[in-house]
Structure 1
Protein backbone atom coordinates (compact mmCIF):
# COMPACT_ATOMS: atom_id res chain seq x y z
CA UNK A 1 0.00 0.00 0.00
CA UNK A 2 3.00 2.30 0.49
CA UNK A 3 3.26 2.36 -3.30
CA UNK A 4 0.10 4.52 -3.41
CA UNK A 5 1.68 7.41 -1.48
CA UNK A 6 4.57 8.21 -3.78
CA UNK A 7 5.21 10.97 -6.33
CA UNK A 8 5.24 8.33 -9.06
CA UNK A 9 1.75 7.15 -8.05
CA UNK A 10 0.45 10.73 -7.94
CA UNK A 11 1.85 11.41 -11.43
CA UNK A 12 0.33 8.13 -12.67
CA UNK A 13 -3.05 9.12 -11.20
CA UNK A 14 -2.91 12.47 -13.02
CA UNK A 15 -2.08 10.66 -16.25
CA UNK A 16 -4.97 8.23 -15.72
CA UNK A 17 -7.47 11.06 -15.14
CA UNK A 18 -6.14 12.84 -18.25
CA UNK A 19 -6.49 9.59 -20.18
CA UNK A 20 -10.11 9.22 -19.01
CA UNK A 21 -10.82 12.80 -20.15
CA UNK A 22 -9.20 12.46 -23.59
CA UNK A 23 -10.65 9.04 -24.39
CA UNK A 24 -14.00 10.12 -22.94
CA UNK A 25 -14.55 12.94 -25.45
CA UNK A 26 -16.46 10.79 -27.95
CA UNK A 27 -18.43 9.20 -25.10
CA UNK A 28 -19.33 12.65 -23.77
CA UNK A 29 -20.63 13.71 -27.18
CA UNK A 30 -22.80 10.58 -27.41
CA UNK A 31 -24.24 11.21 -23.93
CA UNK A 32 -25.08 14.83 -24.79
CA UNK A 33 -26.85 13.90 -28.05
CA UNK A 34 -28.64 10.83 -26.66
CA UNK A 35 -29.96 12.67 -23.57
CA UNK A 36 -31.78 15.15 -25.84
CA UNK A 37 -34.31 12.41 -26.59
CA UNK A 38 -35.59 12.66 -23.01
CA UNK A 39 -38.12 15.31 -21.82
CA UNK A 40 -36.40 18.67 -21.26
CA UNK A 41 -36.90 18.62 -17.47
CA UNK A 42 -35.29 15.18 -17.17
CA UNK A 43 -32.31 15.54 -19.50
CA UNK A 44 -29.84 16.58 -16.78
CA UNK A 45 -31.07 13.72 -14.55
CA UNK A 46 -30.65 11.25 -17.42
CA UNK A 47 -27.05 12.34 -18.01
CA UNK A 48 -26.10 12.21 -14.33
CA UNK A 49 -27.86 8.90 -13.68
CA UNK A 50 -26.44 7.32 -16.85
CA UNK A 51 -22.86 8.34 -16.08
CA UNK A 52 -23.28 7.52 -12.36
CA UNK A 53 -24.41 3.95 -13.09
CA UNK A 54 -21.69 3.66 -15.73
CA UNK A 55 -19.02 4.59 -13.14
CA UNK A 56 -20.14 1.70 -10.91
CA UNK A 57 -20.22 -0.72 -13.84
CA UNK A 58 -16.82 0.55 -15.06
CA UNK A 59 -15.29 -0.40 -11.73
CA UNK A 60 -16.98 -3.81 -11.96
CA UNK A 61 -15.65 -4.13 -15.51
CA UNK A 62 -12.20 -3.19 -14.21
CA UNK A 63 -12.30 -6.07 -11.70
CA UNK A 64 -13.52 -8.46 -14.41
CA UNK A 65 -10.84 -7.40 -16.91
CA UNK A 66 -8.10 -7.63 -14.29
CA UNK A 67 -9.19 -11.17 -13.43
CA UNK A 68 -10.27 -12.52 -16.82
CA UNK A 69 -8.25 -10.47 -19.33
CA UNK A 70 -7.01 -13.55 -21.19
CA UNK A 71 -10.59 -14.73 -21.86
CA UNK A 72 -11.48 -11.39 -23.45
CA UNK A 73 -8.44 -11.56 -25.72
CA UNK A 74 -8.51 -15.26 -26.69
CA UNK A 75 -10.36 -15.90 -29.99
CA UNK A 76 -13.45 -18.13 -29.82
CA UNK A 77 -14.12 -18.34 -33.57
CA UNK A 78 -11.70 -17.93 -36.47
CA UNK A 79 -11.39 -18.37 -40.21
CA UNK A 80 -8.09 -18.62 -42.09
CA UNK A 81 -6.82 -19.43 -45.60
CA UNK A 82 -9.76 -17.68 -47.25
CA UNK A 83 -9.22 -15.33 -50.20
CA UNK A 84 -12.20 -13.10 -49.28
CA UNK A 85 -12.24 -12.81 -45.48
CA UNK A 86 -10.13 -13.94 -42.54
CA UNK A 87 -10.76 -13.24 -38.84
CA UNK A 88 -10.17 -14.24 -35.23
CA UNK A 89 -13.10 -12.88 -33.21
CA UNK A 90 -12.76 -12.51 -29.45
CA UNK A 91 -15.11 -10.94 -26.87
CA UNK A 92 -13.27 -7.61 -26.93
CA UNK A 93 -13.47 -7.27 -30.73
CA UNK A 94 -17.17 -8.20 -30.83
CA UNK A 95 -18.07 -5.58 -28.21
CA UNK A 96 -16.13 -2.86 -30.04
CA UNK A 97 -17.59 -3.81 -33.46
CA UNK A 98 -21.18 -3.89 -32.16
CA UNK A 99 -20.62 -0.52 -30.47
CA UNK A 100 -19.30 0.96 -33.72
CA UNK A 101 -22.27 -0.31 -35.74
CA UNK A 102 -24.76 1.04 -33.16
CA UNK A 103 -23.13 4.50 -33.09
CA UNK A 104 -23.06 4.75 -36.90
CA UNK A 105 -26.73 3.70 -37.00
CA UNK A 106 -27.63 6.32 -34.36
CA UNK A 107 -25.74 9.10 -36.18
CA UNK A 108 -27.27 8.27 -39.60
CA UNK A 109 -30.77 8.01 -38.12
CA UNK A 110 -30.51 11.43 -36.41
CA UNK A 111 -28.99 13.07 -39.51
CA UNK A 112 -31.86 11.66 -41.60
CA UNK A 113 -34.42 13.03 -39.13
CA UNK A 114 -32.77 16.45 -39.37
CA UNK A 115 -33.11 16.37 -43.16
CA UNK A 116 -36.83 15.65 -42.73
CA UNK A 117 -37.54 18.74 -40.60
CA UNK A 118 -41.20 17.99 -39.82
CA UNK A 119 -40.44 14.46 -38.67
CA UNK A 120 -37.49 15.81 -36.65
CA UNK A 121 -39.72 18.34 -34.84
CA UNK A 122 -42.39 15.72 -34.13
CA UNK A 123 -39.81 13.26 -32.80
CA UNK A 124 -38.75 15.86 -30.21
CA UNK A 125 -42.37 16.43 -29.15
CA UNK A 126 -43.36 12.77 -29.08
CA UNK A 127 -41.58 11.33 -26.05
CA UNK A 128 -43.01 7.93 -25.15
CA UNK A 129 -43.49 6.76 -21.58
CA UNK A 130 -40.54 4.83 -20.22
CA UNK A 131 -38.17 6.45 -22.73
CA UNK A 132 -36.09 7.93 -19.90
CA UNK A 133 -35.13 4.47 -18.63
CA UNK A 134 -34.34 3.36 -22.16
CA UNK A 135 -32.06 6.37 -22.76
CA UNK A 136 -30.24 5.79 -19.44
CA UNK A 137 -29.82 2.13 -20.42
CA UNK A 138 -28.19 2.99 -23.75
CA UNK A 139 -25.95 5.65 -22.16
CA UNK A 140 -24.71 3.05 -19.67
CA UNK A 141 -24.20 0.38 -22.36
CA UNK A 142 -22.30 2.71 -24.71
CA UNK A 143 -20.27 4.02 -21.77
CA UNK A 144 -19.13 0.46 -21.14
CA UNK A 145 -18.23 0.01 -24.81
CA UNK A 146 -16.05 3.14 -24.65
CA UNK A 147 -14.62 1.92 -21.33
CA UNK A 148 -12.66 -0.97 -22.83
CA UNK A 149 -10.02 1.23 -24.48
CA UNK A 150 -9.60 3.50 -21.46
CA UNK A 151 -9.38 0.62 -18.97
CA UNK A 152 -6.94 -1.39 -21.09
CA UNK A 153 -4.81 1.75 -21.60
CA UNK A 154 -4.94 2.41 -17.85
CA UNK A 155 -3.83 -1.16 -17.16
CA UNK A 156 -0.85 -0.63 -19.45
CA UNK A 157 0.08 2.63 -17.66
CA UNK A 158 -0.02 0.93 -14.24
CA UNK A 159 1.46 -2.44 -15.24
CA UNK A 160 4.59 -1.70 -13.18
CA UNK A 161 2.54 -1.58 -9.95
CA UNK A 162 1.38 -4.38 -7.68
CA UNK A 163 -2.20 -5.69 -8.06
CA UNK A 164 -3.92 -3.91 -5.12
CA UNK A 165 -2.37 -0.42 -5.60
CA UNK A 166 -2.99 -0.74 -9.35
CA UNK A 167 -6.66 -1.56 -8.74
CA UNK A 168 -7.15 1.28 -6.23
CA UNK A 169 -5.43 3.85 -8.44
CA UNK A 170 -7.49 2.93 -11.50
CA UNK A 171 -10.73 2.95 -9.48
CA UNK A 172 -9.96 6.47 -8.20
CA UNK A 173 -9.21 7.62 -11.76
CA UNK A 174 -12.50 6.13 -13.02
CA UNK A 175 -14.51 7.94 -10.31
CA UNK A 176 -12.71 11.26 -10.92
CA UNK A 177 -13.13 10.88 -14.70
CA UNK A 178 -16.83 10.10 -14.21
CA UNK A 179 -17.38 13.19 -12.04
CA UNK A 180 -15.62 15.31 -14.66
CA UNK A 181 -17.87 13.77 -17.33
CA UNK A 182 -21.04 14.54 -15.32
CA UNK A 183 -19.97 18.21 -15.00
CA UNK A 184 -19.01 18.58 -18.67
CA UNK A 185 -22.05 16.67 -20.03
CA UNK A 186 -24.45 19.41 -18.94
CA UNK A 187 -22.19 22.13 -20.39
CA UNK A 188 -21.83 20.33 -23.74
CA UNK A 189 -25.59 19.65 -23.92
CA UNK A 190 -26.45 23.27 -23.07
CA UNK A 191 -24.02 24.49 -25.74
CA UNK A 192 -25.61 22.23 -28.38
CA UNK A 193 -29.08 23.32 -27.26
CA UNK A 194 -28.20 27.02 -27.69
CA UNK A 195 -26.27 26.44 -30.91
CA UNK A 196 -28.43 23.98 -32.86
CA UNK A 197 -26.30 24.39 -35.99
CA UNK A 198 -23.45 22.55 -34.19
CA UNK A 199 -25.69 19.55 -33.57
CA UNK A 200 -25.10 18.43 -37.17
CA UNK A 201 -21.35 18.75 -36.62
CA UNK A 202 -21.69 16.65 -33.45
CA UNK A 203 -23.55 13.91 -35.30
CA UNK A 204 -20.91 13.72 -38.04
CA UNK A 205 -18.20 13.52 -35.36
CA UNK A 206 -20.21 10.69 -33.80
CA UNK A 207 -20.31 8.99 -37.21
CA UNK A 208 -16.50 9.16 -37.39
CA UNK A 209 -16.33 7.73 -33.86
CA UNK A 210 -18.35 4.75 -35.13
CA UNK A 211 -15.93 4.27 -38.03
CA UNK A 212 -13.01 4.47 -35.60
CA UNK A 213 -14.59 1.77 -33.43
CA UNK A 214 -15.21 -0.44 -36.48
CA UNK A 215 -11.58 -0.13 -37.54
CA UNK A 216 -10.44 -0.86 -33.98
CA UNK A 217 -12.75 -3.88 -33.73
CA UNK A 218 -11.56 -5.18 -37.11
CA UNK A 219 -7.96 -4.84 -35.99
CA UNK A 220 -8.66 -6.66 -32.70
CA UNK A 221 -10.32 -9.47 -34.68
CA UNK A 222 -7.33 -9.64 -37.08
CA UNK A 223 -9.83 -9.04 -39.87
CA UNK A 224 -8.57 -9.30 -43.46
CA UNK A 225 -10.75 -8.42 -46.46
CA UNK A 226 -9.49 -9.66 -49.85
CA UNK A 227 -6.05 -10.11 -48.29
CA UNK A 228 -5.92 -6.56 -46.87
CA UNK A 229 -5.64 -6.17 -43.09
CA UNK A 230 -8.01 -3.79 -41.30
CA UNK A 231 -5.88 -1.25 -39.43
CA UNK A 232 -7.19 0.89 -36.56
CA UNK A 233 -7.71 4.62 -37.03
CA UNK A 234 -5.10 6.36 -34.89
CA UNK A 235 -6.17 8.94 -32.31
CA UNK A 236 -4.01 11.50 -34.15
CA UNK A 237 -5.99 10.94 -37.37
CA UNK A 238 -9.27 11.05 -35.43
CA UNK A 239 -8.53 14.39 -33.77
CA UNK A 240 -7.14 15.81 -37.05
CA UNK A 241 -10.42 14.96 -38.81
CA UNK A 242 -12.38 16.53 -35.92
CA UNK A 243 -10.34 19.74 -36.16
CA UNK A 244 -10.90 19.88 -39.95
CA UNK A 245 -14.66 19.36 -39.48
CA UNK A 246 -14.82 22.13 -36.86
CA UNK A 247 -12.85 24.55 -39.08
CA UNK A 248 -15.06 23.78 -42.09
CA UNK A 249 -18.17 24.31 -39.95
CA UNK A 250 -16.90 27.66 -38.63
CA UNK A 251 -15.90 28.89 -42.11
CA UNK A 252 -19.22 27.77 -43.60
CA UNK A 253 -21.14 29.47 -40.78
CA UNK A 254 -19.35 32.79 -41.26
CA UNK A 255 -19.70 32.57 -45.04
CA UNK A 256 -23.43 31.97 -44.65
CA UNK A 257 -23.73 35.00 -42.34
CA UNK A 258 -21.86 37.15 -44.87
CA UNK A 259 -24.20 36.00 -47.65
CA UNK A 260 -27.27 36.83 -45.51
CA UNK A 261 -25.80 40.23 -44.64
CA UNK A 262 -25.09 40.95 -48.31
CA UNK A 263 -28.61 39.86 -49.26
CA UNK A 264 -30.15 42.19 -46.65
CA UNK A 265 -27.92 45.04 -47.83
CA UNK A 266 -29.05 44.58 -51.46
CA UNK A 267 -32.71 44.37 -50.40
CA UNK A 268 -32.30 47.57 -48.39
CA UNK A 269 -30.77 49.32 -51.44
CA UNK A 270 -33.62 48.16 -53.69
CA UNK A 271 -36.18 49.34 -51.13
CA UNK A 272 -34.46 52.74 -50.86
CA UNK A 273 -34.47 53.18 -54.68
CA UNK A 274 -38.17 52.25 -54.86
CA UNK A 275 -39.03 54.81 -52.17
CA UNK A 276 -37.19 57.49 -54.16
Structure 2
Protein backbone atom coordinates (compact mmCIF):
# COMPACT_ATOMS: atom_id res chain seq x y z
CA UNK A 1 0.00 0.00 0.00
CA UNK A 2 2.90 2.37 0.75
CA UNK A 3 3.92 2.23 -2.94
CA UNK A 4 0.82 4.32 -3.70
CA UNK A 5 2.15 7.38 -1.87
CA UNK A 6 5.46 7.61 -3.71
CA UNK A 7 6.05 9.96 -6.65
CA UNK A 8 6.29 7.01 -9.00
CA UNK A 9 3.14 5.47 -7.53
CA UNK A 10 1.10 8.67 -7.87
CA UNK A 11 2.26 9.12 -11.47
CA UNK A 12 1.29 5.51 -12.24
CA UNK A 13 -2.09 6.10 -10.59
CA UNK A 14 -2.67 9.18 -12.78
CA UNK A 15 -1.76 7.21 -15.92
CA UNK A 16 -4.08 4.36 -14.92
CA UNK A 17 -6.94 6.75 -14.14
CA UNK A 18 -6.61 8.37 -17.59
CA UNK A 19 -6.44 4.90 -19.16
CA UNK A 20 -9.59 3.78 -17.32
CA UNK A 21 -11.35 7.00 -18.34
CA UNK A 22 -10.56 6.50 -22.03
CA UNK A 23 -11.39 2.80 -22.06
CA UNK A 24 -14.49 3.39 -19.93
CA UNK A 25 -16.22 5.61 -22.50
CA UNK A 26 -17.78 2.72 -24.41
CA UNK A 27 -18.77 1.07 -21.12
CA UNK A 28 -20.50 4.26 -19.96
CA UNK A 29 -22.32 4.51 -23.28
CA UNK A 30 -23.59 0.94 -22.94
CA UNK A 31 -24.74 1.58 -19.35
CA UNK A 32 -26.65 4.72 -20.41
CA UNK A 33 -28.42 2.97 -23.29
CA UNK A 34 -29.21 -0.22 -21.34
CA UNK A 35 -30.51 1.56 -18.23
CA UNK A 36 -33.23 3.38 -20.16
CA UNK A 37 -34.92 0.04 -20.83
CA UNK A 38 -36.25 -0.06 -17.25
CA UNK A 39 -38.08 3.26 -17.61
CA UNK A 40 -37.66 6.50 -15.67
CA UNK A 41 -40.50 5.95 -13.18
CA UNK A 42 -39.38 6.50 -9.60
CA UNK A 43 -35.77 7.03 -10.63
CA UNK A 44 -35.35 3.35 -11.56
CA UNK A 45 -32.94 4.09 -14.43
CA UNK A 46 -30.66 6.15 -12.17
CA UNK A 47 -30.81 3.39 -9.54
CA UNK A 48 -29.80 0.81 -12.16
CA UNK A 49 -26.84 2.92 -13.24
CA UNK A 50 -25.57 3.44 -9.68
CA UNK A 51 -25.98 -0.19 -8.59
CA UNK A 52 -24.70 -1.53 -11.90
CA UNK A 53 -21.53 0.57 -11.79
CA UNK A 54 -21.03 -0.05 -8.05
CA UNK A 55 -21.25 -3.84 -8.40
CA UNK A 56 -19.15 -3.66 -11.55
CA UNK A 57 -16.36 -1.93 -9.61
CA UNK A 58 -16.43 -4.72 -7.02
CA UNK A 59 -16.35 -7.47 -9.66
CA UNK A 60 -13.62 -5.67 -11.61
CA UNK A 61 -11.36 -5.61 -8.53
CA UNK A 62 -12.06 -9.33 -7.94
CA UNK A 63 -11.27 -10.00 -11.60
CA UNK A 64 -8.06 -7.96 -11.27
CA UNK A 65 -6.86 -10.17 -8.40
CA UNK A 66 -7.81 -13.34 -10.32
CA UNK A 67 -6.06 -12.26 -13.52
CA UNK A 68 -2.89 -11.18 -11.69
CA UNK A 69 -2.66 -14.50 -9.83
CA UNK A 70 -3.78 -16.77 -12.68
CA UNK A 71 -2.41 -14.84 -15.65
CA UNK A 72 -0.51 -17.79 -17.11
CA UNK A 73 -3.48 -20.14 -16.72
CA UNK A 74 -5.97 -17.71 -18.28
CA UNK A 75 -3.67 -17.11 -21.25
CA UNK A 76 -3.21 -20.84 -21.95
CA UNK A 77 -5.38 -22.21 -24.82
CA UNK A 78 -7.76 -25.02 -23.86
CA UNK A 79 -9.75 -25.45 -27.09
CA UNK A 80 -8.11 -25.90 -30.49
CA UNK A 81 -9.94 -26.11 -33.81
CA UNK A 82 -7.53 -27.35 -36.50
CA UNK A 83 -9.63 -27.23 -39.70
CA UNK A 84 -6.73 -26.12 -41.87
CA UNK A 85 -7.74 -23.80 -44.68
CA UNK A 86 -11.29 -23.44 -43.36
CA UNK A 87 -11.32 -22.44 -39.69
CA UNK A 88 -8.38 -22.47 -37.28
CA UNK A 89 -8.31 -21.15 -33.72
CA UNK A 90 -6.78 -21.67 -30.29
CA UNK A 91 -9.25 -20.39 -27.70
CA UNK A 92 -8.35 -19.35 -24.17
CA UNK A 93 -10.70 -17.87 -21.57
CA UNK A 94 -9.91 -14.26 -22.46
CA UNK A 95 -10.51 -14.76 -26.19
CA UNK A 96 -13.84 -16.54 -25.61
CA UNK A 97 -15.12 -13.89 -23.20
CA UNK A 98 -14.05 -11.11 -25.58
CA UNK A 99 -15.63 -12.82 -28.62
CA UNK A 100 -18.97 -13.55 -26.98
CA UNK A 101 -19.07 -10.15 -25.29
CA UNK A 102 -18.40 -8.36 -28.58
CA UNK A 103 -21.03 -10.46 -30.33
CA UNK A 104 -23.60 -9.64 -27.66
CA UNK A 105 -22.87 -5.90 -27.92
CA UNK A 106 -23.32 -6.05 -31.72
CA UNK A 107 -26.62 -7.88 -31.20
CA UNK A 108 -27.77 -5.29 -28.64
CA UNK A 109 -26.86 -2.35 -30.90
CA UNK A 110 -28.57 -3.89 -33.95
CA UNK A 111 -31.69 -4.70 -31.92
CA UNK A 112 -31.94 -1.14 -30.63
CA UNK A 113 -31.33 0.32 -34.11
CA UNK A 114 -34.01 -1.93 -35.65
CA UNK A 115 -36.38 -0.92 -32.83
CA UNK A 116 -35.85 2.77 -33.61
CA UNK A 117 -36.53 2.12 -37.30
CA UNK A 118 -39.62 0.00 -36.57
CA UNK A 119 -41.30 2.56 -34.31
CA UNK A 120 -43.70 4.68 -36.36
CA UNK A 121 -44.81 7.49 -34.05
CA UNK A 122 -41.83 8.88 -32.12
CA UNK A 123 -43.85 9.17 -28.92
CA UNK A 124 -44.24 5.37 -28.83
CA UNK A 125 -40.46 4.83 -28.76
CA UNK A 126 -40.35 4.74 -25.00
CA UNK A 127 -42.84 1.86 -24.80
CA UNK A 128 -40.64 -0.83 -26.31
CA UNK A 129 -39.43 -3.96 -24.60
CA UNK A 130 -38.90 -3.26 -20.90
CA UNK A 131 -36.39 -4.88 -18.55
CA UNK A 132 -36.61 -5.29 -14.81
CA UNK A 133 -34.14 -3.50 -12.55
CA UNK A 134 -32.41 -6.81 -11.70
CA UNK A 135 -32.11 -7.82 -15.38
CA UNK A 136 -30.59 -4.47 -16.33
CA UNK A 137 -28.10 -4.55 -13.43
CA UNK A 138 -27.03 -8.12 -14.31
CA UNK A 139 -26.49 -7.14 -17.96
CA UNK A 140 -24.49 -4.04 -17.00
CA UNK A 141 -22.28 -5.98 -14.56
CA UNK A 142 -21.77 -8.82 -17.07
CA UNK A 143 -20.76 -6.50 -19.89
CA UNK A 144 -18.50 -4.58 -17.51
CA UNK A 145 -16.61 -7.83 -16.89
CA UNK A 146 -16.14 -8.15 -20.67
CA UNK A 147 -14.78 -4.60 -20.90
CA UNK A 148 -12.62 -5.27 -17.83
CA UNK A 149 -10.30 -7.75 -19.55
CA UNK A 150 -8.96 -5.14 -21.92
CA UNK A 151 -8.57 -2.40 -19.31
CA UNK A 152 -7.01 -4.70 -16.68
CA UNK A 153 -4.45 -6.18 -19.08
CA UNK A 154 -3.55 -2.65 -20.23
CA UNK A 155 -3.23 -1.57 -16.59
CA UNK A 156 -0.98 -4.55 -15.84
CA UNK A 157 1.35 -3.43 -18.61
CA UNK A 158 1.73 -0.05 -16.87
CA UNK A 159 1.59 -0.88 -13.14
CA UNK A 160 4.39 -3.36 -12.65
CA UNK A 161 7.89 -3.43 -11.21
CA UNK A 162 10.77 -5.83 -11.66
CA UNK A 163 12.35 -7.37 -8.55
CA UNK A 164 16.05 -7.98 -8.00
CA UNK A 165 15.58 -11.59 -9.11
CA UNK A 166 14.06 -10.45 -12.42
CA UNK A 167 10.46 -11.38 -11.57
CA UNK A 168 7.60 -9.02 -12.42
CA UNK A 169 5.43 -7.79 -9.55
CA UNK A 170 2.11 -6.09 -10.34
CA UNK A 171 1.04 -3.06 -8.31
CA UNK A 172 -2.41 -4.35 -7.41
CA UNK A 173 -3.20 -1.62 -4.88
CA UNK A 174 -2.56 1.14 -7.40
CA UNK A 175 -4.68 -0.60 -10.05
CA UNK A 176 -7.50 -1.14 -7.53
CA UNK A 177 -7.51 2.55 -6.51
CA UNK A 178 -7.58 3.57 -10.20
CA UNK A 179 -10.58 1.26 -10.79
CA UNK A 180 -12.43 2.74 -7.79
CA UNK A 181 -11.73 6.35 -8.87
CA UNK A 182 -12.81 5.67 -12.46
CA UNK A 183 -15.95 3.95 -11.15
CA UNK A 184 -16.83 6.99 -9.03
CA UNK A 185 -16.32 9.17 -12.11
CA UNK A 186 -18.65 6.91 -14.12
CA UNK A 187 -21.33 7.13 -11.41
CA UNK A 188 -21.11 10.94 -11.49
CA UNK A 189 -21.29 11.08 -15.29
CA UNK A 190 -23.81 8.31 -16.01
CA UNK A 191 -26.94 10.36 -15.26
CA UNK A 192 -25.64 13.32 -17.27
CA UNK A 193 -24.87 11.16 -20.31
CA UNK A 194 -28.32 9.55 -20.11
CA UNK A 195 -30.02 12.95 -19.78
CA UNK A 196 -28.06 14.26 -22.77
CA UNK A 197 -29.14 11.28 -24.91
CA UNK A 198 -32.73 11.73 -23.73
CA UNK A 199 -32.79 15.44 -24.63
CA UNK A 200 -30.95 14.92 -27.93
CA UNK A 201 -32.57 11.87 -29.48
CA UNK A 202 -30.61 12.24 -32.72
CA UNK A 203 -27.41 11.40 -30.82
CA UNK A 204 -28.91 8.14 -29.55
CA UNK A 205 -28.51 6.68 -33.05
CA UNK A 206 -24.89 7.85 -33.09
CA UNK A 207 -24.36 6.18 -29.72
CA UNK A 208 -25.81 2.90 -30.99
CA UNK A 209 -23.51 2.89 -34.02
CA UNK A 210 -20.53 3.62 -31.75
CA UNK A 211 -21.66 0.68 -29.62
CA UNK A 212 -21.79 -1.47 -32.76
CA UNK A 213 -18.19 -0.51 -33.60
CA UNK A 214 -17.16 -1.33 -30.01
CA UNK A 215 -18.64 -4.81 -30.52
CA UNK A 216 -16.74 -5.22 -33.79
CA UNK A 217 -13.56 -4.11 -31.99
CA UNK A 218 -14.04 -6.75 -29.30
CA UNK A 219 -14.84 -9.49 -31.83
CA UNK A 220 -11.70 -8.70 -33.83
CA UNK A 221 -9.64 -8.61 -30.62
CA UNK A 222 -11.07 -11.96 -29.50
CA UNK A 223 -10.30 -13.48 -32.90
CA UNK A 224 -6.76 -12.12 -32.74
CA UNK A 225 -6.22 -13.51 -29.24
CA UNK A 226 -7.41 -16.92 -30.48
CA UNK A 227 -5.07 -16.73 -33.53
CA UNK A 228 -8.19 -17.28 -35.61
CA UNK A 229 -7.95 -17.97 -39.35
CA UNK A 230 -10.99 -18.14 -41.64
CA UNK A 231 -10.34 -19.66 -45.07
CA UNK A 232 -6.65 -18.98 -44.53
CA UNK A 233 -7.10 -15.30 -43.67
CA UNK A 234 -5.86 -14.37 -40.20
CA UNK A 235 -8.09 -12.18 -38.03
CA UNK A 236 -6.28 -9.08 -36.77
CA UNK A 237 -7.41 -6.86 -33.92
CA UNK A 238 -8.64 -3.39 -34.84
CA UNK A 239 -6.05 -0.90 -33.59
CA UNK A 240 -7.24 1.44 -30.86
CA UNK A 241 -5.99 4.41 -32.90
CA UNK A 242 -8.15 3.27 -35.83
CA UNK A 243 -11.11 2.83 -33.49
CA UNK A 244 -10.82 6.36 -32.08
CA UNK A 245 -10.34 7.79 -35.60
CA UNK A 246 -13.57 6.10 -36.75
CA UNK A 247 -15.40 7.44 -33.68
CA UNK A 248 -14.05 10.94 -34.36
CA UNK A 249 -15.19 10.80 -38.00
CA UNK A 250 -18.64 9.50 -36.96
CA UNK A 251 -19.11 12.28 -34.41
CA UNK A 252 -17.95 15.04 -36.78
CA UNK A 253 -20.13 13.68 -39.59
CA UNK A 254 -23.15 13.52 -37.29
CA UNK A 255 -22.61 17.08 -36.03
CA UNK A 256 -22.26 18.45 -39.58
CA UNK A 257 -25.25 16.43 -40.78
CA UNK A 258 -27.42 17.64 -37.88
CA UNK A 259 -26.51 21.28 -38.48
CA UNK A 260 -27.12 20.91 -42.23
CA UNK A 261 -30.55 19.39 -41.55
CA UNK A 262 -31.41 22.28 -39.23
CA UNK A 263 -30.35 24.75 -41.94
CA UNK A 264 -32.54 22.97 -44.51
CA UNK A 265 -35.51 22.97 -42.13
CA UNK A 266 -35.01 26.68 -41.45
CA UNK A 267 -34.95 27.40 -45.20
CA UNK A 268 -38.07 25.32 -45.77
CA UNK A 269 -39.91 27.03 -42.90
CA UNK A 270 -38.90 30.43 -44.33
CA UNK A 271 -40.20 29.41 -47.77
CA UNK A 272 -43.47 28.14 -46.27
CA UNK A 273 -43.94 31.36 -44.30
CA UNK A 274 -43.19 33.39 -47.43
CA UNK A 275 -45.81 31.45 -49.40
CA UNK A 276 -48.35 31.79 -46.60
CA UNK A 277 -47.70 35.55 -46.40
CA UNK A 278 -48.05 35.84 -50.20
CA UNK A 279 -51.32 33.88 -50.19
CA UNK A 280 -52.61 35.92 -47.27
CA UNK A 281 -51.70 39.16 -49.04
CA UNK A 282 -53.38 37.96 -52.26
CA UNK A 283 -56.47 36.91 -50.31
CA UNK A 284 -56.51 40.31 -48.62
CA UNK A 285 -56.37 42.10 -51.99
CA UNK A 286 -59.25 39.99 -53.32
CA UNK A 287 -61.29 40.65 -50.19
CA UNK A 288 -60.70 44.41 -50.36
CA UNK A 289 -61.57 44.41 -54.10
CA UNK A 290 -64.87 42.69 -53.46
CA UNK A 291 -65.76 45.08 -50.67
CA UNK A 292 -65.25 48.05 -52.96
Structure 1 length as normaliser, TM-score?
A: 0.94
**How far apart, CA to CA, are the structure 2 residues paired with 1:178 and 1:10?**
18
* Cα deviation, residue 57, structure 1: 0.6
**How far apart, CA to CA, are the structure 2 residues paired with 1:2 and 1:60?**
21
Which segment drifts farther, 1-10 or 38-47?
Answer: 1-10
Q: Does 1:61 align with 2:96?
A: no
**How far apart, CA to CA, are the structure 1 residues paired with 2:93 and 2:125?**
35
**How far apart, CA to CA, are the structure 2 residues paired with 1:154 and 1:95?**
18
Name structure 2 gaps, 5 residues minimum.
282-292
* Cα deviation, residue 81, structure 1: 6.1
Residue in 2 aligned with 1:33? 33
Residue in 1 aligned with 2:223? 218
Moved over 2 A (4+): 1-5, 118-128, 161-165
Residue in 1 aligned with 2:22? 22
1:153-183 per-residue CA deviation (whole Å, 9 max, x = no partner) reads: 1111112167887111111111111101111
Q: Does 1:152 align with 2:146?
A: no
Residue in 2 aligned with 1:208? 213
Distance 1:226 1:152, change over 3 A: same
**How far apart, CA to CA, are the structure 1 residues paired with 2:213 and 2:183?**
23
**How far apart, CA to CA, are the structure 1 residues paired with 2:129 and 2:110?**
20
Structure 1 contact 28–181 (Cα < 8 Å) conserved: yes
The 5-angstrom pairing of residues 41-120 of structure 1 reads: 41-80=43-82, 82-118=84-120
**How far apart, CA to CA, are the structure 1 residues paired with 2:59 and 2:182?**
14
Please tell me the root mean square deviation across aligned C-alpha atoms, in Å. Answer: 1.9
User: 3-state DSSP class of the match of 1:37?
Assistant: helix
1:262 to 260, 267, 277: 267
**How far apart, CA to CA, are the structure 1 residues paired with 2:102 and 2:156?**
23
Structure 2 contact 223–235 (Cα < 8 Å) conserved: yes
Distance 1:120 1:30, change over 3 A: farther
Structure 2 length as normaliser, TM-score?
A: 0.89
Structure 2 contact 156–170 (Cα < 8 Å) conserved: no
* Number of matched pairs: 275
- Select the structure of larger CA radius of gyration: 2
Residue in 1 aligned with 2:287? none
Structure 1 contact 113–119 (Cα < 8 Å) conserved: no
Name structure 1 gaps, 5 residues minimum.
none
